[in-house]
Amino acid sequence: MSSDLLRLSSLFVRTLREDPADAEVASHRLLVRAGYIRRAAPGIYTWLPLGLRVLAKVEAVVREEMTAAGAQEVHFPALLPREPYETTGRWTEYGPNLFRLTDRKDGDYLLAPTHEEMFTLLVKDLYSSYKDLPVTLFQIQTKYRDEARPRAGLIRGREFVMKDAYSFDTTDAGLDASYAAQRAAYQRIFDRLGLEYVVVAATSGAMGGSRSEEFLTPTPIGEDTFVRSPGGYAANVEAVVTPVPEAIDATDAPAAHVEETPGTPTIDSLVAFANAHHARDDRPWTAADTLKNVVLAVTHPDGRREIVVVGLPGDRGVDLKRAGAAFEPAEVEPATDADFAAHPELVKGYIGPRAFGPSVADERPQVDESVADNVTARQPVRYLLDPRVVSGTRWITGADEDGRHVFDLVAGRDFSADGAIEAAEVRAGDPAPDGSGPLELARGIEIGHIFQLGRKYAQALGLTVLDENGKQVVVTMGSYGIGVTRVLAALAEANHDDAGLAWPAHVAPAHVHVVATGKDAAVFEEAERISGELVARGVEVIYDDRPKVSPGVKFKDAELLGVPVLLVVGRGLADGVVELRARMGEAEQAPVADAVDRAVERVQQLLG
């Protein structure tokens, strides 16, 4: 029996009419209902035969394009000793997301979430000269991450398959070339898979490094928010850079003055009070005239808890995901009552920038991209400003006393900060940083991430090579990941309807789903013959040969399984015809004699 003739009478699959209770999204619901996967534990899945076939096809596309791009395949263990991850600090930085265990000799081990350290050490083990480079290595391998909230089936799991690749170069130009090659390979991979994608600028997260892009597939159920402009700018919302306005000449600005503003702990109440008691001539005060100061608690990997105040225009909130990205690998949350109690200088509802030190004229906040590392703040509480708060801007803000605010407080004249931060929410209509027009927001699933790690890991782990002049130079690295199981889920998200899955031909578990209906032995004989001929011509076939199952159930199962071409042998056989149908298309009658040719033709068309 060929493995490419899958008989439903014996295939290890059971379809379910009911959605699994824990399924939130279509891919999860349908992959379980169609018998592709089964849950083994939260975020941990078993692959049934049909699911495994699709997974193998996705892997094959990834492997082919990686190899075509010159990357060489290796395979690392999932179970790894602590030491290399200790050296780079990630043993600690990963926090509770890392599965840790000890072996029988009390040695510390982990289940690897990514393999930067191991790739770096392997190249160090084998290579020693610039002549050995560049090299790009990849693996397709099972990874582990102890997610706080595994969700959406395969989209955010705890055991999942990733393709991870790393490039090794001696020069920055070399890294750029390796990065470009991988970027192009990613485009080919997602093009071949027929998966719509957007390449967005991204932050590099816990990995460190500089240039960073994500491949997102747009879908309303995506966990990631991204922006794009009419002019082609696209970025993960965490990576959006705020255009910095011109500084304003505030020479003629009035001096700052403190006013009684009783009962105004919120921006709305403050604006209303200001309009009622300190009305402007030209226009009413708005939230944008106020400087909101938001108190955050930052937990560093070493456990240290730091209080940070973010100043931003009062018409915007802090986006905790953006704030989190700014402080990576530290974790960020709103300050608690205990935090406020420990900092009596922070008067809830009336916090102002003057609490954080003397005014410094002519000092404009600089965008500080590594605020997490900048722990030499001159204050016990760090004060960071939104980039919009440029020198010369005038604000109503807290006076650090209950029921009082200060008016006409001028940035750069009356106050300064320890740095800048990209933490304010991004809104539809905000200008793209490259001037390419107003941003729109959309949601997507991250299916790939490429970034320039630079020399961080090579430095930490001592990966150097001799250059042309016999000098040891630190190698520079790129990192390139594709969530293989997540891509499969994204394909299911993008290709389904209410009735079931609708796989693109390249990844479908089979090309043609042959259904024999009724009880007539001649029908089953003909369906058997057609199935056999199709397989002989290289077509992968699911053949529903179940003798006692009604046509209705067979069609429902076919729709659920999602094979692209359906071929029905039934009553029409008496008149010499069978039916051909695309998973989401119209039915066509075909003479029995042409059935195989027509099906092969359709499959070839779909496979391009």
Q: Which residues bind a copy of itself (CB under 8 A)?
A: 1, 3, 10-14, 35, 38, 40-41, 44-49, 52, 55, 67-68, 70, 72-81, 96-97, 99-101, 103-104, 109, 111, 118, 122, 125-127, 135, 137, 142, 144, 146, 148, 158-159
Instruction: Using the Cα atoms of residue 358, residue 364, residue 366 and residue 367 in order, give the sign of their dihedral.
Output: positive
- Evaluate whether 112 touches 76 at the Cβ level (below 8 Å): yes
For residue 143, the minimal CB distance to a copy of itself (Å) is 11
Cα Rg of the chain, angstroms: 30
For residue 466, the minimal CB distance to a copy of itself (Å) is 15
For residue 177, the minimal CB distance to a copy of itself (Å) is 15
Find where tokens 């927001």 sit: 441
Pairing type for strands 382-385 and 419-420 reads parallel
Q: 308 or 487: whose CB is closer to a copy of itself?
A: 487
* SS3 category, 300: coil
For residue 214, the minimal CB distance to a copy of itself (Å) is 26
For residue 41, the minimal CB distance to a copy of itself (Å) is 5
- Evaluate whether 488 touches 494 at the Cβ level (below 8 Å): no
Secondary structure element (H or E) that encloses residue 566, with its range: strand 565-569
* Rounded alpha-carbon distances, angstroms, from residue 24 to 170, 485, 493, 595: 46, 17, 12, 40
Q: Where are the alpha helices (DSSP H) in 331-414?
A: 337-342
Q: 417 or 460: whose CB is closer to a copy of itself?
A: 460
Tell me whether residue 315 is exposed, middle or buried, using C-beta atoms within 10 angstroms of its C-beta: 0 to 12, 13 to 18, 19 or more. Answer: middle
For residue 606, the minimal CB distance to a copy of itself (Å) is 25
Q: 73 or 497: whose CB is closer to a copy of itself?
A: 73
Q: 371 or 465: whose CB is closer to a copy of itself?
A: 465
- DSSP structural state of residue 246: P
- Evaluate whether 268 touches 282 at the Cβ level (below 8 Å): no
For residue 219, the minimal CB distance to a copy of itself (Å) is 26
- Evaluate whether 150 touches 84 at the Cβ level (below 8 Å): no
Q: 144 or 383: whose CB is closer to a copy of itself?
A: 144
Closest among 339, 283, 267 to 309, alpha carbons compared: 339
Closest among 158, 233, 166, 160 to 440, alpha carbons compared: 233
For residue 110, the minimal CB distance to a copy of itself (Å) is 9
Q: 152 or 384: whose CB is closer to a copy of itself?
A: 152
Q: 210 or 299: whose CB is closer to a copy of itself?
A: 299
Q: 21 or 126: whose CB is closer to a copy of itself?
A: 126
